[in-house]
Structure 1
Amino acid sequence: MSDKAFLKLPRVLITEPLRSKLSDSAIVLYSYLISLYELSVRNGERFRDENGRYYVVCPISTVMRLLNCCNNKAESVYMQLENQNLISRKRQGLGKANLIYVNPIAESTATYAKNAHDQCENIDSANAKITFAEMGKTHTIKNDYYQKDLNKIYPSISYGDAIEDIRNQIEYDVLAERGYGSVLDEIVSLLADTVTSTAETLRINQINIPTDKVRWRLKQLTAEHIEYVIGSLEKNTTEIKNMRAYLLTALYNSIDTLDTAALYGA
């Protein structure tokens, strides 16, 4: 089997005392980012900034799928890596994925080694274990939950509550300031109709997909996805006969296509 099928796990992450501050999810993510970094180096100038530093692109939605977790958990894992100086993120603005710089392990270790003894003495290991256990229990979408109880993502939600939840989820106020007008409100209305639908299946990509699965995918949408879909709509030159069906398919697919576009600079 090719070594490309495996992630490289730096031993220091599981043996060095300061790494007690990293959850298992953070260790997995860092290992994954290392693999992306190696790809960036092999691609040469394409993933190199104006200062000559290589970067990787790994949107929150990718982390959510990698770790099988929700948005909040994915962000908290990134923050763990940042707090330990293992990565740094450079924001590019709404609609564009962050650039992620992966710092060498040796550099990170040196940064925190000076006060390692004092820091380790102050760690309350019992509380740390409880914190990470509760975090995983609160945010991670378990496989059995996904398979058996997806309807709890929006349990008996009213249309009005759905509108409010969706606006908060996609940062509606921020997007509204960018002048997207009626198309933004149409997307919110479409999403509300979808998550409150009583139909067993919904038509996506000309395929009938269980409504619960569609809801689960749409729950992963962020402001970046919405702006990406609107941008794609503006670039479209073909006639759209059914705008709502087109938008729903585009929103559903954006969970994957935004990652691909960000990775290849599309």
Structure 2
Amino acid sequence: MIKYIYLHQPQKAVSYTQLPSFLFEAPSYKALSNEAKLLYAFILRRAELSRKNGWADEYGCIYLYYPINEVVELLHCGRQKAVNTLRELQYADLIAIKKQGCGKPNRIYPKSYEVAPNSNSLKSDYGTPEG
């Protein structure tokens, strides 16, 4: 049953994720898939948790972990699609991925979208999302 929202009803405590408008408006990001745009919004949300918990490297850069299996679950897709979506964000220069090795998960460094230039590069200094 669908219920309408009425003016007099109290607002329910619901968790929201902000979806930045620039992902749809800036010419350099229009080519990004909707999955990549959605994943970037969730990465930004998780970055705020990292900030609150003090997760930063020795240079003060915030990082987070987003295991591939969680991306698969979030996007309702297969593993390869999840890897490709992370890679898409990496190529757009919206995130950097740093491999840690020894079975440790990769660190994802979200980049500030105010200063993130469009990148046509197919390589990154931080490796690939797998792992």
C-alpha root-mean-square deviation of aligned residues, in Å?
1.8
Q: Is residue 2:26 matched to residue 1:20?
A: no
Once residues 36 and 85 of structure 1 are traced to their aligned partners in structure 2, the CA distance between those partners, rounded to angstroms, is 18
Q: Which residue of 1 aligns with 2:62?
A: 54
Q: Is residue 2:92 matched to residue 1:112?
A: no
Once residues 79 and 13 of structure 1 are traced to their aligned partners in structure 2, the CA distance between those partners, rounded to angstroms, is 16
Shift of 1:2: 3.5
Instruction: Structure 1: state its 5+ residue gaps.
Output: 114-222, 225-266
Highest relative contact order (Cα 8 Å, sep 6+), 1 or 2?
2
* Aligned residue type for 1:72: Q
Counterpart mapping for 1:141-180 below 5 A: none
Instruction: Structure 2: state its 5+ residue gaps.
Output: 1-11, 120-129
What's the % identity of the aligned pairs? 34
Counterpart mapping for 1:33-72 below 5 A: 33-44=43-54, 47-72=55-80
Once residues 26 and 60 of structure 1 are traced to their aligned partners in structure 2, the CA distance between those partners, rounded to angstroms, is 14
Once residues 112 and 68 of structure 1 are traced to their aligned partners in structure 2, the CA distance between those partners, rounded to angstroms, is 27
Paired residue secondary structure (1:106): coil
- After TM superposition, where is structure 1 displaced by more than 2 Å over at least 4 residues in a row? none
Deviations 1:42-79 (A, max 9, x none): 112xx111111110110111100000111110011011
Once residues 109 and 13 of structure 2 are traced to their aligned partners in structure 1, the CA distance between those partners, rounded to angstroms, is 26
> Is the 1:85–1:103 contact (alpha carbons within 8 Å) kept by the matching residues of 2?
yes
Q: Which residue of 2 aligns with 1:239?
A: none
Deviations 1:212-259 (A, max 9, x none): xxxxxxxxxxx96xxxxxxxxxxxxxxxxxxxxxxxxxxxxxxxxxxx
Q: Is residue 2:12 matched to residue 1:6?
A: no
Deviations 1:153-191 (A, max 9, x none): xxxxxxxxxxxxxxxxxxxxxxxxxxxxxxxxxxxxxxx
Q: How many residues align?
A: 110
Shift of 1:94: 4.2
Shift of 1:39: 0.4
> Is the 2:72–2:79 contact (alpha carbons within 8 Å) kept by the matching residues of 1?
yes
Once residues 99 and 87 of structure 1 are traced to their aligned partners in structure 2, the CA distance between those partners, rounded to angstroms, is 10
> Is the 1:37–1:56 contact (alpha carbons within 8 Å) kept by the matching residues of 2?
yes
Once residues 72 and 107 of structure 1 are traced to their aligned partners in structure 2, the CA distance between those partners, rounded to angstroms, is 29
Paired residue secondary structure (1:89): strand
One of 72, 81, 84 as aligned partner of 1:73:
81
Q: Which of 1 and 2 has greater Rg?
A: 1
